[in-house]
Structure 1
Amino acid sequence: MSLAALHTADPVVDRAQVHELQTRIRQMQATKLESRSLQTHPALAPLLPGGALKAGAAYSVLGSTTLLMAMLAGPSSAGAWCGVVGMPDFGAEAAGRFGIDLERLVLVPHPGDQWLTVTAAVVDVLSVVVLAPPARATDGDVARLSARLRQRESTLVVAGAWPQVEATLRVARSGWDGLGSGAGYLSARRVTVESAPRGGSGPRRRAELWLPAVDESFRASGPTRLEAVGPIQGVG
């Protein structure tokens, strides 16, 4: 089996299904990374406080599925089990080209109204979890999930704004290579990624990346550097 997934005919996931998901993942998962930080891709390290994903913390990625995949690539290639909750259009083939190990990837495309319960269950057994929340979470729900992350030393990457994150990343500028004189094929996408630390205070970071490069991987497109940039909307 190349990847694990929980599929349900009913959009509402009940407690029995959540328990089944936890049991299945524990059976498949041989090891769990013990480090307090998780290795990230070298191209993203300059954008993250401490140069790595912090165990027990949350991060926000605004408006880019490819950037979400890039966030998973480093931990996955280092041996971490990863999960994606609430993203039915998440492309496993593209994820594999980005370096994500599909043998250690769990997909829950349709968590239903119990998406927070499902996310908490997945956080129990996986090192890094990407979540696309279908609705706004209450302060109490965020606090409980944050406590679960710290307890399990897992990392949450949220597609969209989320409270109390370690950093918020977004693609600020984007351009494609490959077209010339109105003809040709789009072959590589160069982006500027900006990162704001917790609370939006302190210096913002900016890096130039190929996302993807011509070979469909991603990497830095030039020297990364720390720059002061404008505020990122939705940081909190």
Structure 2
Amino acid sequence: MTAPLAAPAGPSRVEELQARIRGMQATRLESKAVPTHPAFEGVLPGGTLREGTVVTVEGSTTLLMALLAGPSASGRWVAVAGLPDFGVEAAARFGIALDRLVLVPDPGRQWLTVVAALADVIPVVAVRPTGRIAAAEASRLAARLRQRGTVLLVAGDWPGSDASLGIEASQWQGLERGHGHLSEREVVVSVGGRAEPGRRARSRLRLPGRSLEFAAAEPGAPRDPVRLDEYERRATG
């Protein structure tokens, strides 16, 4: 004896599922832009941060601060969790408003719970995970971020992130033959996005510039950037 086949979903059920799918797609594709510093117009996919997305930032707290500066300067609150080396003086120089900054230097093993709670009330949250996150946990948090319209900046790896930024090369200016003052740092920022996996664009930024700000590098003949550790070896050698 065989079990009867389940009846196919009726037209109303199919239309309901189609509407839910369209709604989920619209949430991702039509998410609102978040005020971002003009220097990132040629760096980020689409030229700006987007509500409800996850952006990974590899190996640079300075780059993370620069990404926080635009939303903060626009009047939004920002939060930073799991980065005990996050310097408030440097943050203020970049334009981050300290009276709208929440710091949780050591969230401990409950870091994911802390991030989820922050994302419920603060529109831009930065975190350095203290452990690996499972894909299922990342997916649940991503749904929460989309619902709240929160941007999550991650200092490290994150499964299914919408974009990733990292510094490929770095060169300081102002140090001549082992003496002088470091005045400006030019970096090559590598950027990848979910839409084009495996492909990464590159842009040059001053991070920081001579006035302790950050900006897109001035057009002109590209310099030959060197890795930061190599430059430090030359300067002290």
TM-score (norm: length of structure 2):
0.77
Give the gaps of 5 or more residues in structure 2: 1-30, 221-237
Alpha-carbon offset, residue 200 of structure 1: 5.0
CA distance in 2, matches of 1:63, 1:41: 20
Q: Is the counterpart of residue 156 in structure 1 residue 137 in structure 2?
A: no
Q: Secondary structure at the match of 1:124?
A: helix
Q: Is the counterpart of residue 44 in structure 1 residue 12 in structure 2?
A: no
CA distance in 2, matches of 1:166, 1:143: 12
Partner of 1:59: 55
1:82-110 CA distance string (max 9 Å, x none)? 00011111001100001111111100111
Alpha-carbon offset, residue 192 of structure 1: 0.6
Percent identity among equivalent residues? 52
Q: Is the counterpart of residue 132 in structure 1 residue 128 in structure 2?
A: yes
Q: Is the counterpart of residue 179 in structure 1 residue 200 in structure 2?
A: no
- Count of equivalent residues: 190
Matches within 5 A, 1:84-163: 84-163=80-159
1:139-181 CA distance string (max 9 Å, x none)? 2211111111011000000001111112110001101011123
Partner of 2:74: 78
* Greater C-alpha radius of gyration: 2
Partner of 2:227: none
Is the Cα contact below 8 Å between 1:188 and 1:211 reproduced in 2?
yes
Q: Secondary structure at the match of 2:173?
A: strand
Partner of 1:17: none
User: Which residue identity lines up with residue 209 of structure 1 in the other structure?
Assistant: L
CA distance in 2, matches of 1:37, 1:74: 12
Q: Which runs of 4+ in 1 moved over 6 A?
A: none
Higher RCO structure (Cα 8 Å, ≥6 apart): 1
User: Which residue identity lines up with residue 143 of structure 1 in the other structure?
Assistant: S
Give the gaps of 5 or more residues in structure 1: 1-34, 225-236
CA distance in 2, matches of 1:53, 1:202: 20
Alpha-carbon offset, residue 222 of structure 1: 2.0
Is the Cα contact below 8 Å between 1:208 and 1:223 reproduced in 2?
no
1:165 aligned to which of 156, 161, 173: 161
1:48-85 CA distance string (max 9 Å, x none)? 12211110010001000000001101111011110001
Alpha-carbon offset, residue 39 of structure 1: 1.2
Alpha-carbon offset, residue 185 of structure 1: 1.2
Alpha-carbon offset, residue 183 of structure 1: 1.4
User: Which residue identity lines up with residue 59 of structure 2 in the other structure?
Assistant: G
Partner of 2:225: none
Q: Secondary structure at the match of 1:40?
A: coil
Q: Which moved more, 1:102-111 or 1:193-202?
A: 193-202
CA distance in 2, matches of 1:116, 1:182: 44
